[in-house]
Amino acid sequence: MNPMIRKELRQRMRERRSWVLPSLYLLALGGVVALTYFFSTQEMFGQFQQEKQGAEIGVAVFFTVAYAQLSLLLLLAPVFSAGSLTIEKEQRTLAGLLTSLLSPFEIWWGKFVSAMLFLILLLVSALPVLSLVFSLGGVGPEELFRATAMTLLVMASISAIGLYFSSTFRRSVHSTAVSYAAVIALTVLTFVIFTLMASHWESVQQAATAAGKTASEMPRYYIIPLWLNPFYALTSAFTHGKQKFPEWLASGLVFLGLGIIATLLALRNIRRSGERG
C-alpha cells in the first residue's frame, strides 16, 4: 500500500470526526427519510390515493434522500481534500515528502485516496437508508446504482479540485474557502446562467410567435452550463433518453474532465514546490 494512504488513514481514523461525522451524516439522512415519508403519507391520505401509496412514497423518499446525500457530501468533500496538502505546508513536512522516495503523483494519490475513502465510507453507510425504498416500491437496484455511481464521480472531481487548491495556497483556510466557492459556482452559478439563457430563449420564442412564426424547441447547447452542475448530473443519471449523446454521459464526461485537469494542475504545483524547496 502507498505509505501516504496508510499514514492518512491512520491519522483520519484516530480523529474524533472519524465517528462523529458518519453518525451525524446518517442521523441527517434518517431525518430526511422520516420527514419525507411523513409528508408523503399525509398528502396521499389527503387525496385518497392509497392504492398508489407505496410506489409513489418510495420514489419521493429515494429522490429526496439522493439529493440530500449529494448536498451533504458537497459540504464535506472540501473538508477532506482542500487541507490535505496545505497542512503539510503549515507543518513544514511537505519538503520532507518531496525529498523522499515518493513521487509527486504518489503524494497526490495518497491524499486523494484517503479523502475519497472517507467519502466512500459515508456513501456505503447510507446504502441501507437508500435501500429502504425497495420495500416501498417504485425504485429498483438500477436507479440506486446510477445515483451512487454519479455521486461518486462528482465527489471524485470535487476532491481533485480541492487538492488543486490545496497545492496552490499555503494555508488551509484559504484553500478551503476557495474550494467552497468553486462548489457554489458549480451548483448555483451554473443554474443562474441557465435560467438567464432560458428566459432569453423564451422571450425570443414569444416574439417569434407574435410575428406568426413557428415556435421551436430550445437548442441543446443552452443546457451546456448545467453539465457543470452536480445536481443536474445526478438528475441526468435517472433519465433514460435515447439521444446519441445522453445527458448523463455529457455530465459524467465534463466532471471527469474537470477532475483530470485539476489533477494535472495539482501535480504541476507539487513538482514546483519541490523545485523551490
Interhelix angle 104-131/17-47, rounded to 10 degrees, is 40
115 vs 257, higher pLDDT: 257
Whether 230 and 257 have beta carbons less than 8 Å apart is answered as no
Distance of CA 248 to the CA centre of its chain: 14
Structural domain for 144, as ranges: 3-276
CA pair distance 211, 222, nearest whole angstrom: 23
CA pair distance 97, 259, nearest whole angstrom: 23
CA pair distance 66, 145, nearest whole angstrom: 11
The answer on pLDDT for 277 being more than 60 is no
Number of H helices, E strands in the chain: 11, 0
What percentage of the chain reaches a pLDDT higher than 90? 35
CA pair distance 20, 256, nearest whole angstrom: 30
- Cell output for 226: 448545467
Query: Which pLDDT tens digit goes with each residue over 114-149?
Result: 889 889 988 988 888 877 777 777 778 888 888 899
Query: Which pLDDT tens digit goes with each residue over 75-87?
Result: 999 988 988 889 8
Query: Which pLDDT tens digit goes with each residue over 16-47?
Result: 767 788 888 889 888 988 888 777 777 555 54
Query: Which pLDDT tens digit goes with each residue over 149-201?
Result: 999 999 999 999 999 999 999 899 999 999 999 999 999 999 999 999 888 88
CA pair distance 209, 155, nearest whole angstrom: 43
The total number of structural domains that make up the chain:
1
**How far is CA 139 from each of CA 151, 248, 272, rounded to the nearest angstrom?**
17, 18, 49
Owner of C-alpha cell 453539465: 227
> Count of alpha carbons within 13 Å of 12, Cβ hemisphere only?
24
